[in-house]
Amino acid sequence: MRRLRSALDEQLATLGEPAFPGSDEEAVAACTFLALRLEDPPRALLKAAVRCGLAVLADRAPGHSLEVRVPPYGAVQVIEGPKHTRGTPPGVVETDPLTWLRLAVGRADWKKAVDGNDVRASGVRSDLSEHLPLWPDE
């Protein structure tokens, strides 16, 4: 979380804005919205937003039956169901960082992202539409 706050506050300072005063989860949301606001978000900001957003998803949808991958920044296991211990999990979702952030705030529709091949989803529990967006765009 320290890295996320550092990346967020550094970018806000670059934009002439004050440091972010909110809670940790609010900081994750703010970092995500800021990364999407920028035409070319800095790698540290993008990485922090993706990793912390994945952690929020894992907290809200605990389990081990689905692996959500956002290369090159992170992966988490989520959703209750059969636990796997080796090899490929029973369900996998994979997308790029900006698509993940758009899904996290509701700027991308889950079904359209899957149908448009922006998200690759396989397995019985691979539909994340029930868990996204994490922070609806206001």
Q: What is the domain count for the chain?
A: 1
The answer to the question of residue 114 being in a domain is yes
The answer to the question of residue 137 being in a domain is no
The answer to the question of residue 136 being in a domain is no
Amino acid at residue number 21: P
Range of the domain at 84: 2-122
In this structure, are residues 77 and 89 in contact, taking their beta carbons and an 8 Å threshold?
A: yes
The answer to the question of residue 62 being in a domain is yes
> pLDDT tens for residues 8-32?
999 999 999 999 999 999 999 999 9
pLDDT at residue 26 in the model: 95
Q: What is the CATH number of the domain that holds 95?
A: 3.30.1050.40
Global pTM reads 0.92
CA–CA distance, 24 with 117 (Å, rounded to integer): 32
The answer to the question of residue 128 being in a domain is no
The answer to the question of residue 52 being in a domain is yes
> pLDDT tens for residues 62-108?
998 999 999 999 999 999 987 666 777 789 999 999 999 999 999 99
**Each residue of 46-73: b (16+ CB within 10 Å) or e?**
bbbbbbbbbbbbeeebeebbbbbbbeeb
